Amino acid sequence: MVAQLYETTVATAAELIAEINDLRRRRNAIILAHNYEYGEIQEIADYVGDSLGMAQAAARTDADVIVVCGVYFMAETAAILNPQRTVLIPDANAGCSLADSITVEQLRAWKAANPGAVVVSYVNTSAAVKAESDYCCTSGNAERVINAIPADQTILFLPDMFLGSYLRQKTGRPLKIWAGECHVHAAIRPAMIEQKRAAMPDAEFLIHPECGCVSSAMDDLARGAIDSRGTYILSTEGMIAHANRSPASRFVVATEIGVLHRMRKAHPDKQFMPVDESISCRYMKLITLEKVRDSLRDLREPVTVPPEIAARARVAIDRMLAL
């Protein structure tokens, strides 16, 4: 399996990897990478996974330096969990359109309009928003978080409207949902699924609950318009686990294309195709081998969270990790 490359040559990549490995040893550093990163970034990481897995890995590490190859809120989470360690992000411009869809001022106003409501924030939020939340969740444990809240409690779910809609249908809870979206997942529309299904009727379809098509997909599944035997709505880690156990040989994956690297690496005998080649996060792809090297060499782009915000945000994060 050839790692997904960007602009480095093979020789340059090999030299950079050698430098990174040497710096990692000397710094006593750990590199955490998200599933959506370039394949060669995933290859150098000590841990690769989703937001929840990265938070769990950050919580249990004894490294002196944590390099977060992901987007900024992930580095903030690592810093909240490790106030005594150095947390770095190779490019501080690696933001998140979903996290940017709600500000802490907007959340405070929403809470004021709904006194007594329980606030559940998707992990794709700033530390300041997490500090105003009662629970954090990821797509992998969001349903468990919602079900853990007493049935008589009003729930404000933010910021992803597609995941919120999915949870409302899945749990039957009357959630109040913030109208935010991820620019990558919002681009995945029902027509893409329909076209791929018509072209590849034998493939299994793995759909992320953040996707713009997921509410339509759930409705079609309930009505029998989509064959439920070949369609699965899963978190990124759920997709990988499903591919590991499924006897199918072909899969269409409706989420960011970076996740295909792990799938193809684990199962070179199976075929994994994106629902569309354009489904790529421009923020995740800001992280390169050169930037990881520079971050370790110069301790560049440290990420810190003010203690008063970190203490409050940690309550919501710890509840997420407990579930």
| C-alpha closest to that of 236 among 295, 279, 299 | 279
Is there a binding annotation on residue 208?
Answer: yes
Rounded CA separation 123/27 (Å) = 28
Is there a binding annotation on residue 228?
Answer: no
Is there a binding annotation on residue 139?
Answer: yes
| C-alpha closest to that of 123 among 179, 76, 82 | 76
Long-range pairs of 262-270 with CB within 8 A, sequence gap ≥ 24: 262/35, 262/42, 262/48, 263/239, 264/1, 265/1, 266/240, 267/243, 268/1, 270/243
Q: Name residues whose C-beta falls within 8 Å of residue 233's C-beta, 6 or more positions apart in sequence.
A: 166, 207, 208, 209, 214, 217, 218
Q: What angle do CA 249, 54, 297 make, to 5 degrees?
A: 115
Is there a binding annotation on residue 51?
Answer: yes
Is there a binding annotation on residue 213?
Answer: no
Is there a binding annotation on residue 114?
Answer: no
**DSSP label at residue 284:** G
Instruction: Give the other-Cβ count within 10 Å of 134's Cβ.
Output: 18
Rounded CA separation 184/187 (Å) = 6
Is there a binding annotation on residue 69?
Answer: no
Is there a binding annotation on residue 295?
Answer: no
Is there a binding annotation on residue 210?
Answer: yes
Q: How far is CA 58 from the centre of its chain?
A: 15
The tokens of 150 are what? 């007493």
Is there a binding annotation on residue 171?
Answer: no
Is there a binding annotation on residue 236?
Answer: yes
Rounded CA separation 246/244 (Å) = 6
Binding annotation for [4Fe-4S] cluster: 96, 182, 281
Binding residues: 34, 51, 96, 122-124, 139, 182, 208-210, 236, 281
Q: Which residue ranges make up the annotated binding site for iminosuccinate?
A: 34, 51, 122-124, 139, 208-210, 236
